[in-house]
Amino acid sequence: MRVDPAIDADFYALEQLLDAEGRQLIMTVRDFMEKSVAPVINHYWTREEFPYDLIPGLAGLGIAGLACAGYDCPGGSSVLDGMIALELARVDPSIATFMGVHGGLAMGSVYLCGSEEQKQRWLPAMARMEKIGAFALTEPDVGSGVAGGLTTTAQRDGDIWVLNGRKKWIGNATFADLIIVWARDVADNQVKGFVVAAGTEGFTPEKMRNKIALRVVQNAEITLDNVRVLEEDRLQQATTFRDTAKVLRLTRAGVAWQATGCARGAYEHALAYAKQREQFGRPIAGFQLVQDLLVRMLSNVTASACLCVRLSQLQDQDEAKDHHSALAKAFCTVRMRETVGWARELLGGNGILLENQVGRFVADAEAIYSYEGTREINTLIVGRAITGLGAFV
């Protein structure tokens, strides 16, 4: 089933905030996602495989690290970057996540925490997607509590750092060229970032299998066994977890956009289905209760998109704080989960068949809901900001 052109799902015409070039880029990305990704993605999703053949096409869109300026990066606005994330997720949340990990988490780490020389060294090839990045923060026993609880260690020995520990859930890590590994410096107990090249001795990624969500994304558990990294490959501007948090502030905003895209994709499929599916001799779109579901979905998508736009505008003004990103991530992912559930409901039994697409959005939403800070953790970040009282422990 082909989804109708989605102009009406941008209900408050937010794309009009973009200039002509930005709107053109949205159309180019939409076209690529609908023509090259949509027809094949269920094949890969079912098999837990990644469509490596699509990487050159994605690279050709020129959207990796979109909001980074200089270093052969596109240098677009955060608003445009967010709308692109929505556009990717609207067709497939796995591809949106792949790009979010590479262009957001990995390139963002180099951009925000690297020295001038490091940015020159790594960003151009990453922007062209000749080198793919991953971001390794989470550990098997430490997820929400990474700020204070990271157990992976980094020990300096002259010009060499030796990393030891384990990581879990690391997207793209089975095939990435550059993996940003966050580890605790045993000398000062602070979290630092290291760029580990694939194939480095002692660095072993193992693909995680049997996920029920984002099955196209290749997540890995990583073992770091005396991995030796040069001092020149330590991100020079990352000296405490506060620097890691700068990256997360940026990418959590991107995840709010992704959640909005995931919800919008499900809504659009549901709307198209409702118009063509007939029961009692008429399209189900003509029933009041079905219209109620559709309008609730559109309300969620529209409210989330408006919130995301304002967040991105604050980012572009350099005024976005951790709590702004956290509120958007928590709100939009809750609305997404509600929306994909309603879309599934609207398709009746057909909603659980992969071929009708909505089921994939329902499953993928579960991962987006939990990664980059769960609802609880993002709520606690906002709670601390508005009360002045931390309630994490």
Residue numbers at the binding site for ligand FAD (CB under 6 A): 101, 135-138, 143-144, 169-171, 214, 219, 367, 370-374, 376-377, 392
Q: What is the dihedral of CA 92, 98, 102, 105, to 10 degrees?
A: 90
Shortest gap between Cβ of 373 and ligand FAD (angstroms)? 6
Q: Which is nearer to ligand FAD, 129 or 137 (CB)?
A: 137
Q: Which is nearer to ligand FAD, 36 or 374 (CB)?
A: 374
Shortest gap between Cβ of 366 and ligand FAD (angstroms)? 8
| Chain residue at closest Cβ approach to ligand FAD | 143
Tell me how far apart the alpha carbons of residues 126 and 105 are, in angstroms, rounded to a whole number. Answer: 12
Q: Which is nearer to ligand FAD, 152 or 356 (CB)?
A: 152
Q: Which is nearer to ligand FAD, 25 or 154 (CB)?
A: 154
Q: Which is nearer to ligand FAD, 195 or 285 (CB)?
A: 195
DSSP assignment of 50-64 equals: --GGGHHHHHHTT-T
Q: For residue 85, what are the contacts with CB-CB under 8 A and spacing of at least 6? A: 96, 99, 100, 254, 257, 258, 261
Q: Which is nearer to ligand FAD, 146 or 270 (CB)?
A: 146
Q: For residue 142, what are the contacts with CB-CB under 8 A and spacing of at least 6? A: 149, 150, 151
> Contact 274/284 with Cβ under 8 angstroms?
yes
Shortest gap between Cβ of 364 and ligand FAD (angstroms)? 9
Q: Which is nearer to ligand FAD, 7 or 391 (CB)?
A: 391
Shortest gap between Cβ of 106 and ligand FAD (angstroms)? 9
Joined tokens for residue 80: 């445009």
Q: Measure the N-to-C terminal CA separation of the chain; round to a whole number of Å.
A: 48
Closest by CA to 305, choosing from 112, 82, 71, is: 82
Shortest gap between Cβ of 57 and ligand FAD (angstroms)? 22
Q: Which is nearer to ligand FAD, 81 or 139 (CB)?
A: 139
Shortest gap between Cβ of 245 and ligand FAD (angstroms)? 13
Q: Which is nearer to ligand FAD, 144 or 151 (CB)?
A: 144
Shortest gap between Cβ of 214 and ligand FAD (angstroms)? 5
Sequence-separated contacts (24+) of 40-46 with Cβ below 8 Å: 41/91, 41/92, 41/94, 41/95, 41/216, 41/360, 42/354, 42/355, 42/357, 42/360, 44/94, 44/215, 44/216, 45/94, 45/215, 45/216, 45/354, 45/360, 46/215, 46/354
Tell me the torsion sign for CA atoms 31, 32, 33, 37.
positive
Shortest gap between Cβ of 320 and ligand FAD (angstroms)? 20
Shortest gap between Cβ of 157 and ligand FAD (angstroms)? 26
DSSP assignment of 177-246 equals: SEEEEEEEETTT--EEEEEEETT-TTEEEEE----SS-TTS-EEEEEEEEEEEEGGGB-TT--SHHHHHH
